[in-house]
Amino acid sequence: MADLPSNFDSWEHLQNTYMLEYNKRVDKFFSDVAGNGDLSNVRSSLKLACRLVDGDNQATWNLRTSLFFDVIGYSRKNLSIFYGSSIDTNLPVAGHPQLFLYFSQDSQAVPVNGKRLDHEKSCRLTRYASKSGQSLPAITKANLLEIATEIKQQFVSGGKGIVYTAGKVSVSYTDPANGFPRGGRWLVNSKSEAITLYTKLCNVVDRPFDINKINVNTPEKDSTTQVITATDTVLGKQYKESAYRPVANLRFRYAYVSFGSNISPIFLIDTTYRNTALLA
């Protein structure tokens, strides 16, 4: 092992190494943001606030790293921010793995003091069994990588998740034999958009799309488009009323597979970089 130089400063070396590796992770997390000095939107401002720079004092260093790891949540890698309730994931999935796709609003699109809208869509991977010993072949890592690659092709463009417009139109697709049991729905702004989304999902699971299995429900009530000012009072505290099926753009964020029981989900792809996924 080579001797260290006589002027070697272990503390300086530690700081420089930490700063280099830390900033790499910040840059990857904010890969959709160009440059490091733009304050034109929320994400670019957050990136600037998170990056360590030479000359930071200890207090600034602590605030930057706490903002990134604790407040934004990078330290929660391998923990899903949202993937259904424990009741949903612990129930059996009829012998087939269950694929989930998660969508949400961009942070800068959320109204001030508003709630970030999101949606999760799932289907069954009926080509595979959830475990060995069943009549169908058990799913393998190679199978999951193939599905992840198809998800990337169908739902990611230019390194970002594709966007669809949610609205009041409720569209379901019922095809139990091919992984779409009764009960699921996609809230969209038009029937054609739902057909596009279901077609993409059928391509992902390698099952045929049948337009005759689409069911559309368009309520007479209009979507809520204005800012909600009405409130409800519960136990003496006021809460804003929920918007009715608002029109909003939702972006694909990540996809994972659940095997039911107590098995942790396996993330296939994650554009937020919060979870370790099979496909980068």
Q: What confidence tens digit (pLDDT) does each residue in 208-266 have?
A: 999 999 999 999 898 877 556 566 667 777 666 678 888 999 999 999 999 876 778 99
pLDDT-based confidence at 115, cuts 50/70/90? Answer: confident
Same domain assignment for residues 161 and 200: yes
pLDDT-based confidence at 184, cuts 50/70/90? Answer: confident
What per-residue confidence (pLDDT) applies to 113?
A: 67
- Which range in 49-58, 155-164, 174-183, 259-268 is most confidently predicted, on average pLDDT? 155-164
Same domain assignment for residues 19 and 100: no
Query: 32-88: per-residue pLDDT in tens?
Result: 777 776 777 778 888 888 889 888 888 888 888 888 877 777 766 554 444 454 444
If one counts the domains in the chain, the total is 2
Same domain assignment for residues 90 and 129: yes
Candidate from 88-102, 125-139, 164-178, 237-251 with smallest mean pLDDT: 88-102
- The Cα 149–Cα 179 span in angstroms is 19
User: Does residue 278 fall inside a structural domain?
Assistant: no
Percentage with pLDDT > 90 across the chain:
40
What per-residue confidence (pLDDT) applies to 188?
A: 96
User: Does residue 2 fall inside a structural domain?
Assistant: no
Same domain assignment for residues 181 and 248: yes
- Closest by Cα among 146, 105, 104 to 257: 146
Q: What is the dihedral of CA 57, 60, 61, 63, to 10 degrees?
A: 160
- The domain of 71 spans 10-76
Same domain assignment for residues 72 and 102: no
Same domain assignment for residues 117 and 232: yes
**What separation in angstroms does the CA of 10 have from each of 56, 58, 98, 254?**
18, 17, 50, 40
Same domain assignment for residues 122 and 16: no
What per-residue confidence (pLDDT) applies to 54?
A: 86
CB burial string 8-29: b at 16+ within 10 A, e below: eeeeeeeeeeebeebbeebeeb
Give SS3 for 96. Answer: coil
Distance linking the first and last C-alpha atoms of the chain:
35
Q: Which of 76, 101, 118 is the last residue of a domain?
A: 76
Same domain assignment for residues 199 and 128: yes
36 and 24 Cβ atoms separated by less than 8 Å: no
Same domain assignment for residues 209 and 245: yes
User: Does residue 125 fall inside a structural domain?
Assistant: yes
Candidate from 48-57, 108-117, 203-212 with smallest mean pLDDT: 108-117
pLDDT-based confidence at 164, cuts 50/70/90? Answer: very high
What per-residue confidence (pLDDT) applies to 132?
A: 65
**How many of the other CB atoms lie within 10 Å of CB of 205?**
19
Same domain assignment for residues 122 and 236: yes
User: Does residue 4 fall inside a structural domain?
Assistant: no
Statement: residue 126 has pLDDT above 60: yes
- The Cα 74–Cα 273 span in angstroms is 8
Same domain assignment for residues 127 and 33: no
Statement: residue 112 has pLDDT above 60: yes
Statement: residue 19 has pLDDT above 80: yes
120 and 98 Cβ atoms separated by less than 8 Å: no
- The Cα 98–Cα 128 span in angstroms is 10
Same domain assignment for residues 183 and 68: no
User: Does residue 173 fall inside a structural domain?
Assistant: yes
Give SS3 for 175. Answer: strand
What per-residue confidence (pLDDT) applies to 274?
A: 86
Which one is predicted more confidently, 232 or 275?
275
Average pLDDT, stretch 118-135?
A: 83
